[in-house]
Amino acid sequence: MERQISDEVRKKTKQCTHEFGCLTGEKTVCSVDQFIEDDGVFIQRPQDVFCPYLMHFGNSHICQCPTRREMYERYQI
């Protein structure tokens, strides 16, 4: 099943190196540990995957991808 996001969010996601594979299921979506509304999504990072939207935060990572954020808010995934 292809997931939908707004055109506005898609345009904001300028650094995606995976060609929006998370929307089509071609790329595994990082699992969410915690959602913090103002800061982004705390995620468990998959091994050996580079993403320009990941930011180290102690022993965790914060995902600052606009598409991933909307996916979480819309689909709770």
Provide the residue range defining the domain that includes 37.
Answer: 7-75
Residue pair 33/57 in contact by the 8 Å Cβ criterion:
no
In a domain, 40, yes or no: yes
In sequence order, which ranges of 1-77 are alpha helices (DSSP H)?
7-12, 21-24, 66-75
Domain contains 2? no
Taking 70 as the pLDDT cut, the residues of the chain under it are 1, 46-47
Number of domains in the chain: 1
Alpha-carbon torsion, ordered 46, 30, 35, 11, to 10 deg: 120
Angstrom distance (rounded) from CA 59 to CA 17: 24
- pTM, full prediction: 0.86
